[in-house]
Chain A
Amino acid sequence: MSDNRKHIVVKVNGEDREADVEPRLLLVHLLRDVYGLTGTHIGCDTSNCGACTVHVDGESAKSCTMLAVQADGREVKTIEGMADGAALHPLQQAFWDQHGLQCGFCTPGMIMQAAWLLGRNATPTETQIREGISGNLCRCTGYVNIVKAIQQVAGTLPHAESAPVEAAATIVD
């Protein structure tokens, strides 16, 4: 099998990285198993769940549905490339602020998809947000707070929802 390995160079999160890979190696396995970038997850085998979403040359891509060799010479951005050192990406901050995650497994893919979506449309409607993340499955949150997190970054969060979470409403008597 090693005889047909191919040498590739992929710019991952701004850094050129090389690898000798089997042509059948999936991009997600290149990122996770070869480069150790385990923030990109695998949740299905049919391209439905979106846990593996990354950016390839700025476009959203499900990295379980691309071969590593197809990324040769291209730029890949993963969740690990979103924060600027200690400073979180606004979407990372918003997911935290709005309780947009629970188990966290879908979160990296969801953030990458949301970033791509906001890159194309900075102020999407709620319907556009929901359609924009419809290729990413979340089993924990019911999507409510994921939508709010994206709205927070877009600046379209309804006023009542933009108060600090400390003021969240609850009845106690």
Chain B
Amino acid sequence: MASETQAPKLQTTPEVGGMGHSVKRKEDPRFIRGAGTYIDDLVLPGMLWLDIVRSPYAHATINGIDSTAALKVPGVAAVITGADLEKAGLHWMPTLAGDKQMVLPTHTVMYQSQEVAAVVATSRYAAADGVAAVEVDYDPLPVIVDPFKALEPDAFVLRPDRAPDKQTNRIWHWESGDEAAADAGLAAAEHRIEEDIYIPRIHVASIETCGCIADWDAIRGQMTLHMTSQAPHAIRTVLALVSGLPEQNIRVITHDIGGGFGGKVPVYPGYVLAVVASLTTGKPVKWIEDRSENLQADSFARDYHIHAEMGATKAGKITSLKVTTIADHGYTDAAADPTKFPAGLFNVITGSYDFPNAFVEVDGVYTNKPPGGVAYRCSFRVTEAVHAIERMVDIMAHDLDIDPGKLRMDNFIQPEQMPYKTPTGWEYDSGDYPRALKLAMEMIGYDDLRKEQLEKRARGELMGIGISSFTEIVGAGPSHDFDILGLKMFDSCEIRVHPTGKVLARIGVQTQGQGHETTFAQIIAEELGFPVADVKIEYGDTDTAPYGLGTYASRSTPVAGAATAMAARKIREKARHIAAHLLEANADDLEWTNGKFSVKGSPEQSKTIQEIAFAAYTNHPQGMEAGLEAVNYYDPPNLTFPFGSYICVVDIDKGTGQVKIRRFVAVDDCGNIINPMIVDGQIHGGLTMGFAPALLESMTYDENGNNMAGTFMDYLLPTAVETPAWELGKTVTPSPHHPIGAKGVGESATVGAPPAINNAVVDALWHLGVRNIDIPLTPQKIWAILQEKGVTA
């Protein structure tokens, strides 16, 4: 079901297919035929296979690695160990967060499933046989899996390789806001709450795992790296800096990618090992991880231990927020956060509310777990922030016996306060929070549900209603604040208009399913009037695409989408002068409508963009460069702030503790919409990836650091059966600074959904004295609480 208040104002016909048209995707014909090219589909002549020996221990000394038997396995060409890499200084690599990560260990393994050695062989099966034949002699060491234990004075130091003044398991401390003001606000508050909220470690688990083919051509001195990367240009530059290969001789190509969600941003040891193996053997080397390796060793998300305090008046006006957080990063900080923000954009934690005072601090901590943390379909820790604030607002409302909808309405930043500066330093560009919540409440029939809840509670039935009114923060980002390893987070588009009026455009971002081949063509269709069918979008080949920082954190539309509009406008301006030449008119006397320039007052005197394109190559004005091309590198003036209000209704089975989502209404505002069909698809998927950690997914470890959810048997992705029916609604508040008023939408729903579900479940149990339950809200967890409270079926 979709909610609608007004018909879209479309500037183009369906044949042209500009902004606001639900154009069917241009990329789909190859995918529905099984003709996509994912990394494991690619086979190069003479290619070898690489497979990885992994540690069974979370912490152990390596006494020795014996490759003798492995090298006798038919087909095995080489075994690579840390000692081999150390000779070339390649046993360590930098992480995107500026920490160091082992490519292969020389002495000690630091987490279960860590890479220990690599086997290169002539086939997939021979490489696996070789892995099984490598003998590693380990001495297990004590293990720290709990970050709080890692911070105790007598804890061993996990990373003695760090500087002498950093011989501690505390990686960094980061804070934002005014602590004294927040403390004073809390001290003066009429009502004060505090809560511990844990957001567990989860994994993006894109259905395609990670992999690459490194292809070293010794004669040409050329390294081609085919890989699953959300940021191929950054990979090229890092590879040049680390390997010393000249950057013009490195080509990174991403083909079709089977889902990213943040998990394909980092550099994993497997990629580096394939590069080393190709350099060593002179042959293309393919590495494809299997699902268990993907879940057990690739970057995780979340793992934030949050302690939050909030103050308010008895009438429900919130006054102060203080948040202290321990961030478990595993054995190295391999987060993909911008340099200035080691805890990402977590300080957007005041959310949609007008807080006079706020302070947030985060400490990153090492443990014997795999490194991270990356996003899980979110923009740099905004999910953790939204979860905390939406839980706290709900607890406050329940404590004060004020309806959670009303408390939110009473504390929202109002539209007339935009642009709004938060106490932690962000400037929200736009937003109309009351309108979104009002629409969500109308769609779900909020008042009737509250009445029903009262009746059901009187009968002993457990029903809950949960709200989440989130503010996202996406589109990193302005160069004065945002870089990754020094690379500023601009993005780019290059447009070439061919003589016959067909268009090739290349963008600096990457698609992993978002539909860029369609939506970026629609931006060009909107700006220049070329039909979408005539516009081809390319990306992912660093030899041809303009430099960009890639796709994650919902930055494609906010940054590269803006670059595309700006490049198109450059072309339109040149086209105006060509049209003036063709029409023998003054350029200032021309107006642009429906894909053509016409003389003001004489619409019959006009030239279509296609006629102009032909003239750019056959009859361009003297003194003007021929051709019709433009490139734009867009440095956004601010981030964009999509928002929304979600309402979830749950029924809880008293006998089993099973949470059943009866209804879920999601009202999103992502600014102006390029393709409504694709936006809805993004929201459906985002909601499902919000539902997943709320009810199902959690990556847990036992006290020895053994991964307890390392396959899809134990790490539970939602199937079509569990996934609720989503009801979508929209409001549109355009971004005032984005050229097409868009904001980004890929991750909003993943950010906003978990607290709506969590709030609904706690709402159902509040009268029993339940204040908080950490996600995932599994039947076991709820059942145990019901038992404790004496509730039976």
Contacts and interface: CB of A to CB of B under 8 A. Distances in A.
B314 interface: no
Interface string A63-104: 000000000000000111011000010001101110101111
B621 interface: no
Interface residues of B, number: 78
Given A79-B34, A137-B712, A140-B685, A171 B206 contact: no
B290 interface: yes
B721 A130 contact: yes
Contacts of B32: 88, 92-93, 95-96, 101, 104, 107, 111
Given A92-B32, A96-B28, A165-B24, A171 B684 contact: no
A134 interface: yes
A43 interface: yes
Interface in B685-741: 685-689, 711-713, 717, 719-721, 723, 725-726, 729-732
Contacts of B33: 39, 79-80, 82-83, 88, 92
A172 B40 contact: no
Given A139-B206, A170-B8, A99 B681 contact: yes
A142 B723 contact: yes
Contacts of B28: 95-96, 101, 104
Interface string B512-556: 111100000000000000000000000000000000000000000
B388 to A, nearest CB: 25
Contacts of B30: 104
B726 A43 contact: no
A45 B291 contact: yes
Contacts of B681: 99, 102, 140-141, 144-145
A147 interface: yes
A166 B687 CA distance: 23
A103 B208 contact: yes
B224 interface: no
B34 A40 contact: yes
Interface in B22-51: 22, 24-25, 27-38, 40-41, 43
Contacts of A44: 290-291, 711-712
A88 B712 CA distance: 32
A22 B125 contact: yes
A138 B679 CA distance: 17
Contacts, number: 225
Interface residues of A, number: 69
Nearest to A144: B684
Given A107-B31, A133-B720, A102 B125 contact: no
A48 B3 CA distance: 35
A83 B719 CA distance: 27
B721 A168 contact: no
Contact of B207 (A79, A130, A137, A146): A137
B20 interface: yes
Contact of B4 (A25, A29, A171): A171
A21 to B, nearest CB: 11
Given A102-B515, A104-B36, A172 B124 contact: no
Contacts of B22: 165-168
Given A43-B208, A46-B713, A105-B258, A80 B34 contact: yes
B723 A173 contact: no
B34 A49 contact: no
A44 to B, nearest CB: 4
19 contacts: A39-B33, A43-B291, A46-B291, A48-B712, A83-B33, A92-B33, A102-B514, A103-B256, A103-B258, A104-B30, A104-B256, A139-B261, A141-B681, A142-B687, A165-B24, A168-B22, A170-B679, A171-B4, A171-B730
Interface pairs A-B: 7 shortest CB-CB: A39-B34, A103-B513, A105-B258, A104-B31, A79-B34, A142-B688, A102-B513
